Structure 1
Amino acid sequence: MSASTERAKLAQRFSGDMRQGVSELARLGYPATVFQRMMADHGAVEAARRLVLDPTPTYGLWRLQELKRLDASVEMWVLLPWYEPLFDQPIRDQAERKLRLLKVDVDRELRQLVARLTSTA
């Protein structure tokens, strides 16, 4: 399989994960309408890239912190090792920086998220 086909499949998987995450957050009372609109306009990977590159934490990131669900943030999912091919290092660095601004122990949270996701796969 070609690299572009692999990347397209990975982007499709990321898109599915983002849609599932939005559904889960809606059940918690946060519909993430801005992100949904961005995904509709640009696709999940580009929407994530744009959100992460915004230099200030978005309302959504603050809201997820209030809900104690930063594990569901785009910033955290951009850092997942299996999505690394979709996001270059400056984007991954910015995602980590934004989480650290919110006092997140990124390494610990990422380990927990990876463990949770791989145990249910």
Structure 2
Amino acid sequence: MNPTDDRAALSRRFGAEMVRGIRELAREGYNANYFRQMLATHGPVEAARRLVLDPTPSEGLWRLQQMDRLDMSVEMWVQLPWYQPLFEPEVREQARKKLEALRVDVPTELARLVGRLDPDGER
């Protein structure tokens, strides 16, 4: 498989995980309608990139903090080692900064998330 095919497959997997996350959060009472719309309009990688690079934290990020579910945030998922090839270093850095602004210990929370998932995104 060539690098372009690898990236496309990784992007599809990232998108599938984002959709699974939206469904999981909906069961907990949070409907991520804005993010769902962004996914449909821009695709998973570009939607995540736009959300993370927006200098204003999204309403969804605040809601996930209230729910104690920042582990389901795009900002956390762009940090996952197996998805890092999809995102430029500045995107990952901005995501980390947004999480730290919410007092998240990113290395600790990322380690927990990695421990809960496997590289294929299975929970």
TM-score when normalising by structure 1: 0.97
Alignment of 1:79-118 (within 5 A): 79-118=79-118
> What amino acid maps onto 2:39 in structure 1?
M
Distance, in Å, in 1 between the alignment partners of 2:30 and 2:86 is 26
- TM-superposed deviation, 1:118: 2.3
Gaps of 5+ in 2: none
Gaps of 5+ in 1: none
* Larger helix share, 1 or 2: 1
Q: Give the length in aligned residue pairs.
A: 121
Deviations, residues 67-93 of structure 1 (Å, cap 9, x unaligned): 000000000000000001100100000
TM-score when normalising by structure 2: 0.96
> What amino acid maps onto 1:31 in structure 2?
N
Partner of 1:46: 46
Distance, in Å, in 2 between the alignment partners of 1:101 and 1:61 is 11
Secondary structure of the residue that 2:117 maps to in structure 1? helix
